[in-house]
Amino acid sequence: LSSLYIQQWRDSKTLFSYVNKVEGESAYAYSQLGGAAILEGDRAGAYSLYGKALSLNPDYKEALLARARLEMESGAYEKAALGFQRVSSLDNGDFYALYELGLALIRLGNGKEAFFAAQKLDRLTLKSGPVAELARMKADLWGKVAVETAKAGDSEGAAVLFGHAISLAPDYAENYYLRGVSKDQSGDLEGAAEDYQKVLELSPGDYMARFNLGAALYRLGERKGAARHFLEFKKMQPASDMVENFLRDNP
């Protein structure tokens, strides 16, 4: 049916007539229509359709999750958090909802509640299926919680959380980068340089890690190493003046 929804999307009268005839007015049908609207690029229409689905069944999980994601996209983080929280309460094994709840809470500046969401996510396990995806989600959320912890002034707590995040997905470059930035800001330039180097081992094309490594080495007095990484950065980002600005501010 979904392909028919997409084909008939632009003719809404025909579409709604078709849906009502085949399935009747149901949360499932409107949720499917919402998905079709997203595929057509009509996010406002999709949001309205998910709302219609939820008016028929307030606990329809697929519509709750999809609408909350649209709210995240639009910056309505508080509404999104409520939606993800509702999905999680309906199905405490839905790791997507818990992960995205944590992200919404971080956007709201609520690191403490995001920490609890990460803890709940950490307890979920899978014997088969998207095991690697779940591990990556756990690692990503813990890394972001660690950043918030560092911002709150708890550098030791942040270090522990970064370590845990990296242990969950040792090949996830983003957490090495975030930990490097955190160390950089706290004055641990050697530790920051090590993390940026690890990022480049995992993702050689990461130009920000390349620039930050050059900057850390420069401030450590390793000018040759810094010059090499700055040169590589300029090859990657020829229009950028970040290197020139850094050297001007750090003679």
Answer whether residue 125 shows pLDDT above 60.
yes
How far apart (Å, rounded) are the C-alpha atoms in residues 80 and 169?
27
Range of the domain at 144: 75-170
Answer whether residue 12 shows pLDDT above 60.
no
Report which of 161, 166, 186 is spatially closest to residue 177, judged by C-alpha positions.
Answer: 166
Average pLDDT over residues 74-100: 96
Instruction: Give the per-residue pLDDT at 176.
Output: 96
Q: Are residues 47 and 89 in the same domain?
A: no
- Give 13's pLDDT tier (boundaries 50, 70, 90): very low
Q: Are residues 164 and 134 in the same domain?
A: yes
What is 122-188 written as a DSSP string?
HH---SSSSHHHHHHHHHHHHHHHHHHHHHTT-HHHHHHHHHHHHHH-TT-HHHHHHHHHHHHHHT-
Confirm whether 98 is domain-assigned. yes
Confirm whether 235 is domain-assigned. no
Calculate the average pLDDT of the chain.
91
Boundary-marking domain end, from 142, 170, 198: 170
Q: How many domains does the chain have?
A: 2
CATH number at residue 31: 1.25.40.10
Boundary-marking domain end, from 140, 170, 200: 170
What does pTM read for this prediction? 0.82
Boundary-marking domain end, from 136, 170, 204: 170
Average pLDDT over residues 134-150: 95
Confirm whether 197 is domain-assigned. no
Average pLDDT over residues 125-138: 91
Report the percent of the chain where pLDDT is more than 90. 76
Confirm whether 244 is domain-assigned. no
Instruction: Give the per-residue pLDDT at 2.
Output: 53
Instruction: Give the per-residue pLDDT at 10.
Output: 53
Cβ-based neighbours of 48, under 8 Å, separated by 6 or more: none
Amino acid type, 237: Q
